[in-house]
Structure 1
Amino acid sequence: MAEATVTKPAALPAPSAERALRVPTAWLGVAPFFLFALLFLILPTAYLVVGAFQNNQGEFTLENIAALSQPSIVAAYWISIRISLASSILGALIGLAIAIAIVRGGLPNWVRSATLTFSGVASQFAGVPLAFAFLATLGRLGLVTVLLNSVLGINIYALGFNILSFWGLTLTYLFFQIPLMVVIITPAIDGLKREWGEAAATLGATQLQYWRMVVIPVLWPSFLGTMILLFANAFGAIATAYALTGSSLNIVPILLYAQIRGDVLHNPHLGYALAFGMVVVTGLANVFYIWFRTRSERWLR
């Protein structure tokens, strides 16, 4: 009787030095992003949060946070919130109308490409150049102001308008709020499936019913999320407001600048507390934006 042959398992190959020293190259592409976020976002935010709870001697204190209840600081937060709300609501409505017109309005393709190109540039145009542009256009001796007065006999400043006021700053913010809305909401409008309109028409729905029962519910989360993002964008803007109004309009970013760099109101730790309050407001706004965007993506996949 032949003996059973026992087959020995093949020995596993020894791990090569190349495999043992394998470098995760997949992470190299995003490493600059994480480094940038660490150096210019995470570490500065952590520094100001720590400074908000310290005094000049480096000791822990809640005085800076308690000082945020001062009437002048509360008024600064309130006017900043009002300007941010006004510019975000108006910017969202006007930007939505423009986006719908270029996507579903039957306009030529070059109008859409030109509008999106301009919106991408204008959404980043702010600071001193934007302030100068509005002063040269709607200032007391601005081009539009002079033309309205000389041609139509309308003196907008005699009617109560002032570029250095609440509505003047809100109008200036709209220059970059409207294009930002167009850039963000256009993909959501593109995501509206043509089959939805055909199905609604087959079922006998009118165009108004289709927009009221299908389009608006689908776009509503994207619209609200983008409007919240516009609010955060306006709430943290300082360069345009400071270059345009100086210290005549007491908004939080200008008050923060005065506390950290000013000669009279120099109190860096109170400035850190002001910045901490701004981080809380903008952070909550971004959390709601992400939540609304996640809800809208469920429909637009």
Structure 2
Amino acid sequence: MTPFAVYVLLFLAVPCVVALGTGFVTGDGRPSLSALTALGEPLVLRAFGSSALVSGITAVVGAVVGAVVCWGLTALRPDGLVRSLVDSAASVLAQFGGVMLAFAFTATIGIQGVVTQLLLTRLGVDVFAGGVWFYQVPGLLLPYVYFQVPLMVITFMPAVTGLKPQWQEAVATLGGTRREHLLRVVVPVLAPAFVGSVLLLFANAFSSYATAAALISQGAQIVPLQIRAALVSETVLGRENVAGVLALGMVVVMVVLMTLYSLLQRRTERWQR
């Protein structure tokens, strides 16, 4: 454990403490809480609201679609070819993000994307007639859902496979129907795992930066882009310490989400033993 502990200390703990600590000092290094007032600024509040909206929508959509995929996979052999391909694809696609994902979607449904031009030239449908939505916050929904669904498959599949056939047999023995088995056994058992997965997907989208940074080059409409603007802005100077305050706000959100996720996981593990 020693090499891993050193790695966590040097590349995770120390950078995190340094980043958060910058929010509690002035530009000349004196302790101060003045930067904390940035959390009440309208622009920052809107950024947190936009991040929460994008994270919430993509988490729910990704969770529902991913849960349907997991339920369908239960009909396949665990060691079968299709099941192995889906598991492998989910593992790969869940990590496919950043600039590569932004480029893929830009080339597909951007202003000059293949699908966009096909719809315009063949059907006369201009998907950008109402504005350049793809390069704003609404344009993040599709790319985020793209990696949320496979992440849901990875996190929710163990709970689905943990359902025991004996439970259905017991319900049938007691005169219950499939509907009663679904409502009184499957849903209560899977509910904590499902909600926990939604929280994990929310946290995943809330902390995503690279895809949004590649798609939205102008403005800072979500919190990670606000942090970037505070660090590298050439028009608004002297806000470097605000980045630490914004990071603190994100850490608080993540701690709350991960605490709830941990509690739900403990409840889920009771049924998987």
Using the size of structure 1 for normalisation, the TM-score is 0.86
Rg larger for: 1
Whether 1:273 and 2:245 are equivalent positions in the alignment is: yes
Residues 235-250 of structure 1: matches in 2 within 5 Å? 235-248=206-219, 250=221
Greater helix share, structure number: 2
Give the aligned partner of residue 87 of structure 1: 58
2:180 matched residue in structure 1: 209
Deviations 1:65-92 (A, max 9, x none): 1121011111111101111111111111
Unaligned runs of 5+ in 1: 1-29
Moved more, 193-202 or 103-112: 103-112
Q: Which runs of 5+ in 2 are unaligned?
A: none
* Pair 1:200–1:154, CA change in 2 (3 A): farther
- Residues 83, 170 of structure 1: 8 Å contact kept: yes
- Counterpart residue number, 2:165: 194
Shift in alpha-carbon separation, 1:34–1:67, aligned structure 2, 3 A: same
Q: Cα RMSD (Å) of the superposition?
A: 1.8
Q: Deviations over 1:185-215 (max 9, x none)?
A: 1111111111011111111221121111111
The CA deviation at 1:108 is 9.1
**Distance across 2 between alignment mates of 1:205 and 1:156:** 50
- RCO comparison, higher one (Cα < 8 Å, 6+): 2
Alignment of 1:70-219 (within 5 A): 70-104=41-75, 109-158=80-129, 162-219=133-190
> Which whole-Å CA distance do the structure 1 matches of 2:217 and 2:177 have between them?
52
Give the direction of change, closer, same or farther, for the CA distance of 1:254–1:299 in structure 2 (3 Å limit): same
- In the TM superposition, what is the alpha-carbon distance from 1:156 to its structure 2 partner? 2.2
> Any conservation in 1 of the 2:220–2:229 contact (CA below 8 Å)?
no
Q: Percent identity?
A: 38
1:66 pairs with 21, 26, 37, which one? 37
Distance in 2 between the 1:72 and 1:179 partners? 33
Q: Deviations over 1:20-74 (max 9, x none)?
A: xxxxxxxxxx222222211122111211222111111222211111121011111
Q: In the alignment, residue 285 of structure 1 is paired with which amino acid?
A: L
CA–CA separation in structure 1 for the residues paired with 2:161 and 2:131 = 41
Greater shift, 31-40 or 175-184, is seen at 31-40
CA separation of 1:259 and 1:248: change in aligned 2, threshold 3 A? closer
Normalised TM-score (structure 2): 0.94
> Partners in 2 of 1:120 and 1:32 — Cα distance?
26
